[in-house]
Amino acid sequence: MSLLTRLALSALRIAAMGAALAAVHPLPAADGPAPRARTNFDTGWRFAFGHPSDPAQDFNHGTGYFSYLAKAGYGDGPADPKFDASAWRELDLPHDWAAEAPFDGKASHSHGYKAVGRGFPGRSVGWYRKIFAVPADDLGRRISIEFDGVHRDSQVWVNGFFLGRQPGGSTSFRYDLTDYLNYGGENVIAVRADVTLEEGWYYEGAGITRHVWLVQTAPLHVTPWGTFVSAEVHDDFTTANVTARATITNEGAMPAAFSLEHIVLRPDGVSVATFRSGPLSLAPGESQEYPATLALAQPQLWSLETPALHRLVTIVRTGDQIIDRYETPFGLRTIRFDPDHGFFLNGRHVVLKGVNIHQDHAGVGTATPDALIEHRVRRLQAMGSNAIRTSHEPPNPVLLDVCDRLGLLVIDETRLMGASPAQLDPLAALIRRDRNHPSVILWSVGNEEWRIESNILGARLTATMQAFARRLDPTRRTIVAISGGWGGSSTTTDVVGYNYISQSNPDEQHANFPQQPGVGTEETTTQGTRGIYFDDKPRAHLAPLAKGDSGGNCQMGWQYYAARPFLAGVFFWTGFDYRGESTPFGFPAVSSQYGLMDTCGFPKDSYYYLKAWWSDAPVLHLFPHWNWPDKVGQELKVSCYSNYEAVELFLNGVSLGKQAMPRNGHLEWQVVYQPGVLEARGYRGDTVVATTRIETTGAPAKLVLTPDRTELRADGADVAVFAVSTVDAQGRPVPIAANHVQFAVAGGRIIGVGNGDPSCHEPDNGSARSLFNGYAQVLVQAKRAAGPIRLTAEADGLAAAEATITAR
Q: Which residues are catalytic?
A: 448, 522
- Evaluated on CA atoms 86, 88, 89, 92, the torsion sign reads negative
Peptide bond preceding 94 in cis form (omega within 30 of 0):
yes
DSSP string covering 383-423, please? HT--EEEETTSPPPHHHHHHHHHHT-EEEEE-S---SSHHH
> Cα 355–427–421 angle (5° rounding)?
145
Phi, psi of 283, rounded to the nearest 5 degrees:
-75, 160
Helix (H, G, I), strand (E, B) or coil at 297: strand
CA distance 176 to 748: 36
Work out the number of other CB atoms within 10 angstroms of the CB of residue 546.
11
Residue 30 burial (C-beta neighbours within 10 Å; 0-12, 13-18, 19+): middle
CB 169 within 8 A of CB 151: yes
> Cα 533–534–536 angle (5° rounding)?
125
Residue 433: its H or E element: helix 421-434
Work out the number of other CB atoms within 10 angstroms of the CB of residue 589.
25
Helix (H, G, I), strand (E, B) or coil at 128: strand
If we measure between CA atoms, which residue out of 509, 510, 508, 454 comes closest to residue 485? 454
CB 599 within 8 A of CB 360: yes
If we measure between CA atoms, which residue out of 476, 457, 481 comes closest to residue 466? 476
Residue 745 burial (C-beta neighbours within 10 Å; 0-12, 13-18, 19+): middle
Write the single-letter amino acid at 64.
Answer: G
Q: Is 385 left (phi over 0), alpha (psi -120 to 50) or beta?
A: beta
CA distance 36 to 220: 11
